[in-house]
Amino acid sequence: MGTNNLFFRFGTSCLVAMWILTACTAPAAPAATAVSTPLPPTATPTPVPSMTAMATLTSTFIPSSTATEPPTPTTELTPQVNPGMNVYCRKGPGTNYFAITFLQAGTNYLLLGQNGLNTWWVVQFSGNITCWIGDPTAVLVGPVWDVPILTYPPLPGQPAGFKGTITCHSAQNILVVSLYWSPQSAATTGFRLYRNGALIKTLGANAGGFTDNAPPFSVNLEYVLQAFNEYGVSDRATVSFPPCG
């Protein structure tokens, strides 16, 4: 074998060996590409104006918010009355009028009117109930003198000509008292007759007399006659008799 043939074989073997090495070797991983992280922008300093520049700036005045206080409400007093004691409230201005209810001391009641003398007052009791109060100890509140003068229902007049006679019947132990009075006005519904404080008879409006068979008392007899209507009673008429001897 010549030198050239050896050299050829050697070269061929080297080529085969290099091909085998190349086929068996894994491809190299691509080189990592460096990712650059962007840096934050460099803060640009805000120029501070010089004192001269600040002096030239026009300042705008912004007024501070001032709290506005709500207006104070004006309290307008209404006419009222405050009784100084528990007192009857009546159908009219006077104690001869029938009582409707009573008012409590220390409570304010709305005033609606008066009798023209500033001595009796119409008050609102509750709902649509009104009545008259004449308590001299009451405290008046507000413009009470501005309330109107109101009319009120009439009462019957005092029975006129009230008189009588007495007859003693000792044997029968009977005392007969005959009583008389004058006819009344149209405002009268009837009469009430009392003997020594006790009611003995209620009579109609047209009655003008009554005979009382009384037991023989050893004391004076006193008879009281009152006319009445739906609003109240009249002043009393009185007649007295000595004991039957």
Domain boundaries, given as residue ranges, for the chain: 80-146, 163-241
Which residues, other chains included, contact 108 with Cβ-Cβ below 8 Å and sequence gap of 6+?
Answer: 80, 81, 82, 141
CATH of domain 163-241: 2.60.40.10
pLDDT band at 73 (very low <50, low <70, confident <90, very high): low
Q: Does the model's pTM come out above 0.85?
A: no
CA–CA separation, 179 and 203 (whole Å): 13
Contact 181, 226 (CB under 8 A): no
Q: What pLDDT was estimated at residue 231? A: 97
- Go through the chain and tell me how many residues it has: 245
pLDDT at 138: 92
| Common-topology check for domains 80-146 and 163-241 | no
pLDDT of res. 76:
65
- Looking at domain 80-146, its CATH class is mainly beta
What is the token pair recorded at 244? 């039957």
- 39: three-class secondary structure by DSSP: coil
Burial of 66 (0-12, 13-18, 19+ CB in 10 A): exposed
- Residue 233's closest CA among 134, 94, 88, 123? 94
> Are 142 and 81 spatial neighbours (Cβ–Cβ below 8 Å)?
no
Q: Provide the 10 A C-beta neighbour count for residue 194.
A: 16
The Cα–Cα gap between 179 and 197 comes to 16
For 119, other C-beta atoms within 10 Å of its C-beta total 11
User: Can you give the pLDDT at residue 212?
Assistant: 94
Q: Which two tokens stand for residue 207?
A: 């009655």
In sequence order, what are the beta bridge partners of 204? 190
pLDDT for position 21: 40
Nearest Cα to 92, choosing from 237, 229, 236? 229
Q: Which two tokens stand for residue 242?
A: 């000595």
Count of CB atoms within 10 A of residue 154's CB?
13
Task: Name which residue leads in pLDDT, 245 or 61.
Answer: 245
Which residues are CB-neighbours of 93 under 8 A, at least 6 positions away? 115, 119, 120, 132, 134, 152
| From 47-51, 76-80, 144-148, 231-235, the region with the lowest mean pLDDT | 47-51
Read off the pLDDT of residues 209-219 as tens digits, 9 standing for 90 and up.
Answer: 999 988 777 78
